[in-house]
Structure 1
């Protein structure tokens, strides 16, 4: 039977992700429009984005938060080019973005002392084999695979190398053991549903020490430089951005931070993601022809939920097209390099009620395409 109720919000894209519930563009504060980001007001607004982020994430003393160019990709590249080369490197990946970091480290930076630890989509590499005398690069949550590391227990507190973590689909959605993480990157467009083009960079004191004690052998573009005369450019972490940010996007990010603070902070965001995952888990458990790409429940992402279907690639595409035509789910196809299937964003800005409304539509579309 064709369902009657539709999701109130059919946006389940994994980036840019759905805006927060109740979002209204006309309600954004426009005081910063047409003003310089270097004005007293501009610096104060940017500084607030950094300080409120640190407060909501409950970062340890001494951790710094900065706004950098080019979304999460820019933030990751910034730290790879600025910090790697001082020690051997281990790269862990189990999906396309992590594989991209490995490629850049070996083919662009051309580092030779690099260990590759990889796994197929749906799995994790052996975390117990990682040598933390090396710098370790990894994603916390595989956006294109729906697989996350279960916790930070595998990272020692007394490591010699740095941990560099791409956490764009995890920050504000999953508990993060900050003392185990030296560099963390993310973008506004993911869990809080902000706008693209800006990255966030979180540095531990150990990461700052690396920046101030090590100079890479290669030249760095201006937008990658975080030190001057051997000292950290502290202004980057007080809202004095390297290049001109979109102040409209900054205002939008602050709106998202205020929303999260208003519903209970980071723990509320984590709880919303877990509730959303449970909706999908209940559907998969009751439906024999749909499966999690991540077979181990402990490794399942609570944001980028990846599913496979007992269907051909052409049938999967037809299901996705049908759901879009019915305006019940937009942009839910698996990432182009991942196995064919569905990818549902279940981050904090998504309502569980919308996912509950979507599940019968997925079943209906499957039977329309595959069982008809």
Structure 2
């Protein structure tokens, strides 16, 4: 373990799990500014919104019969729009192994008051819960949990002959790993994760089966305006081709376009995924030889490659109560933040004591290589104080 300060610092210390680091080479002046200051319904602005949707389709290889819309409220808004619009005709299975899955379960039970809900939260390997899913029901799950660094290992557990809908919060996985689009009926995400984009807007992707459910089913609860996908004539006009439910930030749209055009210029999704795997590999190599820390998620196939969470294993610290462990890790994060070495790596507030390092495709492996000795150094500094 390092005793003295490491000699090399990350060039970019931004390791936040959202909003995450901007793409390499990003500059505000590089953004197309012709749509700024215009109505989002003006042809020049509308065409840029439509372009962002087209780039999303191209980069993620979304099938032509799937619908894509930009919606309010970031990923949270997109998920809740789906829950409020689609749930009710069938029983629901909710997979909840971290904070955000728990939020969706709470919405379904406490806000929508659905009568037939199973919340699959038992501890242990995520794959045990996946095996219990009943595909005669609608299934709500988070592909990649940023709070605990836990993900579903693949899409093989999703039944191709499912009767219910597969509703997936995929926000910290999309653009960072390959998602089997055809196995999902609802996919939600935001620009602020793997694209390093700005917050506030979400993306909602609907399969033909999900679209049919929206059009044929009228939920019994009041529907807020920002959740309304349809009117008496069907889907809101142009919603999936550039119109938006409320006023969209054209600056955010231009920033997302910039990120997606960069991604395509370096090789598309294949290159983005390769960058994530290289970044995760840096931490995996460090963890394999580390004598004080380990991954928070023990099952390697179920471990996030983007939102990587680390717990303490050092016996002298494990003997401390949870609040003191959390205080030590928080002090490490604050020390590195103050030195300009690593910003925003404290673990999520509801997760077990941990630090969280974003390894998405906009992060450079060289910055992670520089960070690892600093983690050792910061732990050595703080261990003697707690």
TM-score for both structures, normalised by structure 1: 0.98
User: CA shift at 1:314, angstroms?
Assistant: 2.2
Residue 332 of structure 2 aligns with which residue? Answer: 319
TM-score, length of structure 2 as denominator length: 0.94
Distance in 2 separating the partners of 1:240 and 1:81: 21
In 1, the alpha carbon distance for the partners of 2:296 and 2:233 equals 46
Q: Distance in 2 between matches of 1:347 and 1:30?
A: 27
Question: Pick from 261, 266, 291: which aligns with 2:264?
Answer: 261
Q: 176, 181, 187: which is aligned to 2:179? A: 176
Displacement after TM superposition at 1:95 (Å): 0.3
Equivalent residue number for residue 349 of structure 1: 362
Q: Matched residue of 1:199: which SS?
A: strand
The number of equivalent residue pairs is 372
Structure 2 CA distance for aligned equivalents of residues 33 and 98 of structure 1: 36
Q: Secondary structure at the match of 1:235?
A: coil
* Aligned counterparts of 1:120 and 1:40: Cα–Cα separation in 2: 52
Contact residue 98 and residue 138 of structure 1 kept, 8 A = yes
Structure 2: which 5+ residue stretches go unaligned?
A: 318-324
**Partner Cα separation in structure 2 for residue 364 and residue 54 of structure 1:** 44
Aligned-residue offset at 1:233: 2.5
CA deviation vs aligned residue, 1:229-258 (integer Å, no higher than 9, x gap):
262235111010010000001000000001
Listed as ranges, the gaps of 5+ residues in structure 1 are none
Whole-angstrom CA distance in 1 between matches of 2:79 and 2:238: 19
Is 1:303 equivalent to 2:316 in the alignment?
no
Secondary structure at the aligned position of 1:129 is classed as coil
SS at match of 1:314: helix
Deviation at 1:368, TM superposition (A): 1.3
CA contact (8 A) 1:213 1:230 kept: no
Which position in structure 1 is the counterpart of 2:375?
362
Query: SS state of the match for residue 323, structure 1?
Result: helix
Equivalent of residue 296 in structure 2, options 274, 280, 293: 293
Q: Which moved more, 1:196-205 or 1:308-317?
A: 308-317
How many angstroms apart in 2 are the aligned matches of 1:67 and 1:93?
A: 26
Following the alignment from structure 1 to structure 2, what is the Cα–Cα distance between the partners of residues 271 and 220?
41
Report which stretch shifted further, 273-282 or 320-329: 320-329
Whether 2:103 is the aligned partner of 1:90: answer no
Is the contact made by 2:95 and 2:129 (CA closer than 8 Å) also made in structure 1?
A: no
Alpha-carbon offset, residue 338 of structure 1: 0.3
Partner of 2:321: none
How far residue 141 of structure 1 moved from its aligned partner, in angstroms, is: 0.2
- Aligned equivalent of 1:337, options 337, 350, 373: 350
Is 1:133 matched with 2:136?
yes
Q: How does 1:1-372 map to 2 (within 5 A)?
A: 1-120=4-123, 123=126, 125-229=128-232, 231-309=234-312, 310=314, 311=317, 312-371=325-384
